A and B are shown apart, each in its own frame.
Chain A
Amino acid sequence: AQTVTQSQPEMSVQEAETVTLSCTYDTSESDYYLFWYKQPPSRQMILVIRQEAYKQQNATENRFSVNFQKAAKSFSLKISDSQLGDAAMYFCAYRSGATGANSKLTFGKGITLSVRP
């Protein structure tokens, strides 16, 4: 079974600075997807960024980028120019890409990010 580990329960960043959130995962599969979701106080999970394992290029979405290290099974999220609205809980998630595989996501325990003004 796949597992996702987020070892840092909390992090804090100064507004306008850069912060990196760590995530590692364990799988024997070669084809899979990785995601970072954001959960603000409203509780609704919002997709921040996704990465296909077969792509070597790291995904980027505006101020958000990932450092995907497939061999190390590491998938960290970098937030540049942090804004107050970035304060939320962030979850790393894994999904199998195998044909016919269940499409459910396996989540880490999340990390609470606070942004200092």
Chain B
Amino acid sequence: GAGVSQSPSNKVTEKGKDVELRCDPISGHTALYWYRQSLGQGLEFLIYFQGNSAPDKSGLPSDRFSAERTGGSVSTLTIQRTQQEDSAVYLCASSLMGQPNTGELFFGEGSRLTVL
């Protein structure tokens, strides 16, 4: 498909386990974003990748969270030693930088993480 693809769609894990969430952005989009959406909350920014620049990790809530983007395309968000408060929907988005730049982010359907 032509849209942002995320996997898995749903993930249930036990407290203390590590999880990996994958995002495949729209082809040609150089910017990639991860957001977290907790129940009843808005979207919390986690991390932003832009081309070959150093990522903006300012939103990562703890050192248990990390993300990488290989080859400027697919990104993986890793959560180590998961806690129950990590339960949320993790949304990935991509955007086109340079002209024309409408500022619009294109989102995937998210990965719902449940930590038991």
A interface residues, Cβ below 8 angstroms from B: 4, 6, 33, 35, 37, 42-47, 50, 91, 95, 97, 102-110
Contact = CB atoms under 8 A, between A and B. Distances in A.
Contacts of A44: 107-110
B103 A33 contact: yes
Given A43-B109, A104-B56, 19 more contacts: A4-B42, A35-B103, A35-B104, A37-B107, A43-B89, A44-B107, A46-B107, A50-B103, A97-B103, A102-B48, A102-B56, A103-B48, A103-B50, A103-B95, A104-B48, A107-B43, A108-B42, A109-B40, A109-B42
A103 B31 contact: yes
Contacts of A102: 48, 56
A102 B110 CA distance: 22
B42 A104 contact: no
Which of A33, A103, A110 has the most chain B CB atoms inside 10 A of its CB?
A: A103
Interface in B61-116: 89, 91, 93, 95, 97, 102-105, 107-110, 112
Query: Contact residue range for chain B?
Result: 20 to 34
A30 B74 CA distance: 34
A116 to B, nearest CB: 23
A107 B104 contact: no
A95 B95 CA distance: 13
Q: Which 5 A-B pairs have the closest CB atoms?
A: A109-B42, A45-B107, A107-B43, A33-B103, A43-B110
A104 B33 contact: yes
A72 to B, nearest CB: 21
B52 interface: no
B35 to A, nearest CB: 8
B90 to A, nearest CB: 10
Contacts of A104: 33, 45, 48, 56
A110 B42 contact: yes
Nearest to A45: B107
